[in-house]
Amino acid sequence: MSDGDEFEIDPRAFLAPADGEPADHESARSSSAEGIASLERMERELIDVEDALVRLDEGRYGVCDACGAEILDARLAEHPTERRCEDHRTTDASTDAARGGSTGDSTSNP
Ligand SMILES: [Zn+2]
């Protein structure tokens, strides 16, 4: 009656690997690495937000770091911490949909 193995919780059960991946120690390590990666991403976003707040305070919010052009409102709505205009944005945007556009007339400053 002292055998409680059935009720013992295996921590690996919570590290559910993606379908098709072998449930060995290697995958357990990589899922915690994923957690760290997402934490690092969140930390970077937090830094971005703080940076945006500073720029907002200094009246530089929504202005391109590289050329001083105004960043589109639509872009800011989607990425409030954006600090580059369409032309100078080099973040890890895998989709380069803005390519081939013919909008290069934002030279007028108020
Ligand atoms: Zn720019």
**Could you tell me the domains of the chain?**
23-108 (1.20.120.910)
Cβ neighbors of 102 (< 8 A, separation 6 or more) are none
CA 43 to centroid of ligand 1, rounded, Å: 25
How many angstroms is it from 62 CA to the middle of ligand 1?
Answer: 11
State in Å: Cα 23 to ligand 1 middle: 47
Residue 98 alpha carbon to ligand 1 centre in Å: 14
State in Å: Cα 39 to ligand 1 middle: 29
Band the pLDDT of 30: cuts 50, 70, 90: confident
Which spans in 1-110 are helix H?
A: 25-57, 73-78
Tens of pLDDT, residues 86-110? 999 875 544 444 444 445 555 555 6
What tens digit of pLDDT does each residue of 39-70 get? 999 999 999 999 999 999 999 999 999 999 99
